[in-house]
Structure 1
Amino acid sequence: MTFATDAPSADSGPGFLAFVAFFALAVALWFLMRNMNARMRRMSYRQQAAGRGKDDPQADGSPTDRSGSAEATDAGGDSGGGDGGGGD
């Protein structure tokens, strides 16, 4: 009885394509982190320019929509809409 000899050996690795995929993911992560840091820095500068501290809220705290009416928002805090029954 003969066994197949094409079993993977101990010296074979994931290969070149695995390296390319990992390198592409690393480069994408670097660009995402760079973009996030720039956005966070820009947000911090805008807060300082508005005279707010780091822990102060972004808005004045009144619930308003884009039209400016406070009645348009849900006072109960339920953003799901409907009867609040949940399921089906």
Structure 2
Amino acid sequence: MKDDVVQDLGASEKGHPHVITIEVDGNLQKIEQGKYLVSALKAVFGIPPDYELDQVVGGKFIPLADGETIQVHPHEKFVSHVRHGGSS
């Protein structure tokens, strides 16, 4: 797929990638299951680099760092938003 995918994607026994559905900002999106850098996921879904990406787990928003690697599973939910805080 892309250089920003961290390791082998969840390929089936026949060598085809395992495509899953996740929710990003309320929209269903298809992506190959596997490990991704958070910054790579943002790029894939057109989320501006200066936005934050949160994973929604049990109704709680978990912030993800751009350099963090996450395993993407079917039916997961993600929400992007303008970064909070910082100096002015």
Q: Which has the larger radius of gyration?
A: 1
When normalised by structure 2's length, the TM-score is: 0.21
- Kindly indicate which of the two structures has a greater share of residues assigned to helix: 1
- Kindly indicate which of the two structures has a greater share of residues assigned to strand: 2
When normalised by structure 1's length, the TM-score is: 0.21
